[in-house]
């Protein structure tokens, strides 16, 4: 099942994608796609709905983030060995965890604002994990039971603020608009194996990243179990799980970063695609 939220920012309504790829309005059944709607009981009720019974949404729409009310946006760094190598950093023995502020979350195709004075704004296609039920101190065997579904994330990053402005990565990761999510929440049953998804990213039509979740150092189950040891994951929370090689920081012969007017497109198998125009701050 593919769930989404459509409409102007702050006024999105819930929707579902039918078998023919058409958008169906869910607002007659639920008020929003939030933590309650994507819990086990909520998803069971939505699964029971025949999509053809829902009103068809005509014409172009804006996709918002596919889940509302996210309280925690957790990120994993250096989770692909070849990306760690291009960053000139060792392969981590444990997941590298940082935060993206929830205020950076936006729709998948909304413009991204390069911060004023930024010289090193970068791209990162990543698999996003959307939590469906509260998880604290869960083990790997049960970790995926707490996952409602998956989505595409562009972990937009400002490398100077991330790397050169002190010891914490968080500062370079959460600027406004730096968290495009969506277009859909694809439920876990439809994805099946999150470790077998191809992923890609283009800048101005040129392929920069071409990878697969099968090369992740720490699997989704390992990440959810690990993070849940030191925090409580809540329904609607998002974990973004790292990026394959090909980011601007790792371009040869020298790093290459985004400027106003650049267009970034990205996607993950089964999860849809994003497109962002980068603008000046």
Alpha carbon distances (Å) from 112 to 3, 123, 150, 179, 256? 23, 11, 22, 9, 17
pLDDT in tens, 50-85: 999 999 999 899 999 999 999 999 999 999 888 888
pLDDT at 84: 80
Q: pTM to 2 decimals?
A: 0.96
Q: What is the DSSP string of 188-230?
A: HHHH--TTS-EEEEEETTEEEEEEEGGGBSS-HHHHHHHHTTT
Domains of the chain are 2-53 (no CATH), 73-280 (3.90.850.10)
Q: Residues 199-226: what's their mean pLDDT?
A: 97
- Give the residue among 85, 105, 95 at the shortest CA–CA distance from 241: 95
The whole-angstrom separation of Cα 207 and Cα 234 is 35
pLDDT in tens, 179-212: 999 999 999 999 999 999 999 999 999 999 999 9
pLDDT at 27: 96
């Amino acid at each position: 099942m593919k769930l989404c939220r459509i409409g102007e920012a702050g006024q999105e309504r819930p929707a579902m994608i039918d078998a023919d790829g058409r958008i169906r309005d869910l607002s007659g059944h639920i008020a929003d796609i939030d933590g309650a709607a994507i819990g086990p009981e909520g998803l069971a009720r939505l699964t029971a709905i025949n999509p053809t019974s829902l009103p068809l949404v005509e014409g172009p729409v804006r996709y918002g983030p596919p889940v509302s009310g996210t309280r925690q946006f957790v990120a994993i760094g250096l989770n692909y060995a070849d990306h760690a190598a291009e960053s000139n950093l060792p392969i981590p023995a444990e997941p590298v965890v940082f935060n993206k502020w929830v205020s950076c979350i936006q729709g998948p195709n909304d413009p991204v604002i390069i911060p004023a004075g930024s010289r090193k704004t970068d791209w990162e296609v990543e698999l996003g994990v959307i939590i469906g039920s509260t998880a604290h101190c869960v083990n790997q065997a049960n970790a995926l039971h707490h996952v409602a579904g998956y989505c595409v994330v562009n972990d937009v990053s400002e490398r100077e603020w991330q790397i050169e402005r002190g010891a914490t990565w968080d500062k370079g990761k959460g600027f406004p608009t730096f968290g495009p999510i969506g277009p859909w929440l694809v439920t876990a049953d439809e994805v099946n194996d999150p470790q077998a998804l191809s992923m890609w990213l283009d800048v101005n039509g040129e392929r920069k990243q071409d990878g697969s979740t099968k090369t992740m150092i720490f699997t989704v189950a390992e990440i959810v179990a690990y993070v849940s040891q030191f925090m409580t994951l809540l329904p609607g929370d998002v974990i973004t799980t790292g990026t394959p090689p090909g980011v601007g920081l790792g371009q040869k012969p020298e790093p290459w970063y985004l400027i106003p007017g650049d267009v970034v497109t990205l996607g993950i198998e089964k999860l849809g695609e994003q497109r962002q125009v980068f603008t000046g701050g």
